[in-house]
Amino acid sequence: MNEQMFVDVLTDSEVVLDGSSYTCRRVDGGGAAQSCTSLFFPGCSFINYDPGLAGELFDDLRERGLVDGVTLLCCGKVLAFGEGAPAAKPAFQEELMGGLASRGVERIVAACPNCVAELEALFRAEGSGIAVVPLSEVLAQAGFKVTVEELAARLGEGGRGDATMPVAAVHDACPDRATGRFASSVRALFAPEALVEKAHYQERSFCCGSLANAAGHPDVAQSQALQHGAEACEAHAGALVVYCMSCARFLGTLQDSVPVFHYLELLFNKSIDWKNLSTDCELRFLSLSPGAPALP
């Protein structure tokens, strides 16, 4: 993994990620908080699984004038679990709201459906007018598109998939099920002829297996992942496309019926080896104070 540096506008920190290690130092802003109207929020999974792609995407969004800054902070969802959660989560949320207000944030572009759901719930509870926009909506509105030819080329790379079946089925993540914002906008990023639907999709979808695995039921997780792969094959899809990094990790690891792509891999011509991701770098930045991140 190549070294990737981010300047986090909410923590006034320069964060350098390099493999399973990181460094974090305060950036001298002259005592004044950096203003940021539109904030890119990649989320924990993204910065853990492919910080290089997260950095490239941020640079692209900023050059297009779609965001002004980035933060590596966690949305706080992980604080709902574990010892001390009842006290830790409200404290983190209060700190986060203060940081967003001090920077003048009006819009958050979030890459993760879990982050979108968590942040929207927080802002509703706080009566905040900050808008939370799925990254896929922003990219679709900017004109990004995956063609059948591009999908076929990716499937043919290294025998990853069957290039004679250049159609994909989208796996819809649990936290997006109620609104379908990621579901509809990710589909808009593909040429219509490049997509088919499997039996369970959008509001009828079911978990990738991550929730069962977290609850200590790996056999159920495996069964769910296998069913998603089987349904993709039944729909004559050559690949599964996902928009949640955690879903990609589970579906890319627990089933082999079809190859798995996060849609950003296709848009930015990247490849993530889902089966062999390092588990050493499990960073969760849970404080606006510059320094080491808290670990769950």
Q: How many CB atoms lie within 10 A of CB 26?
A: 12
* Rounded (10°) angle between helices 113-126 and 181-188: 140
pLDDT in tens, 19-71: 667 788 877 665 556 899 999 999 999 998 999 999 999 999 999 999 999 99
Q: Render pLDDT for 124-182 as a digit per residue (tens, 0 to 9).
A: 999 999 999 999 999 999 999 999 999 999 998 866 777 778 899 999 999 999 999 99
Taking each helix axis as running N to C, give the angle between helix 85-103 and helix 113-126, from 0 to 180 degrees, rounded to the nearest 10. 80
**Residue 158 backbone dihedrals phi, psi, to 5 degrees:** 60, 25
Distance CA 19, CA 47 (A): 11
pLDDT given at position 158: 66
Instruction: Indicate if the pLDDT at residue 287 is higher than 80.
Output: no
Tally: H helices and E strands in the chain: 11, 11
Task: List the one residue out of 177, 124, 161 whose CA is nearest residue 261.
Answer: 161
Question: How confident is the model at residue 294, as a pLDDT?
Answer: 44
Question: Among candidates 38, 56, 97, which has minimal Cα distance to 73?
Answer: 97
Q: Tell me what pLDDT residue 296 has.
A: 41
What's the mean pLDDT when you consider all of the chain? 90
Q: Tell me the average pLDDT across 184-199.
A: 97
Share of the chain above pLDDT 70, in %: 90
CA gyration radius, the chain: 19
Task: Reply yes or no on whether the pLDDT at 102 is more than 50.
Answer: yes
The confidence score (pLDDT) of residue 87 equals: 78
Q: pLDDT (tens digit, 9 = 90+) per residue, 106-125?
A: 999 999 999 999 999 999 99
